[in-house]
Amino acid sequence: MQSIEFKVTVKDGIIKIPEAYQNDIIDAETVKVVVVKKEKKKRIVDTGFLAELASNPVKVENLLTSEEANER
């Protein structure tokens, strides 16, 4: 069994086989298809206080490093 792997964008529920692989399967009686869905990264910060803070970070001076904090 020959295996082919590629990434494509699904459009209207249709997966188009790239032209580079179409000749490899043109004479196949059947094929096995495995679909692995890539999840979209979730944006946690979109609105509200956290979004405002992420867009406009506050600069704080004289912060301790982790080493300095552990010494105290």
Domain assignments of the chain as residue spans, ordered by start: 19-71
Number of neighbouring beta carbons within 10 Å of residue 32: 7
For residue range 25-72, list pLDDT tens digits in order. Answer: 899 999 999 999 888 776 666 777 877 888 888 888 888 888 888 887
> Has residue 18 got a pLDDT over 70?
yes
Helices (H), the chain: 19-25, 48-55, 66-71
- Check residues 39 and 3 and name the one with the higher pLDDT: 3
- pLDDT (average), residues 2-18: 91
Which residue, 43, 25, 50, is CA-closest to 15? 25
Cα separation values, 70 from 15, 16, 61, 62, 63, Å: 55, 57, 19, 16, 13
* pTM assigned to the model: 0.48
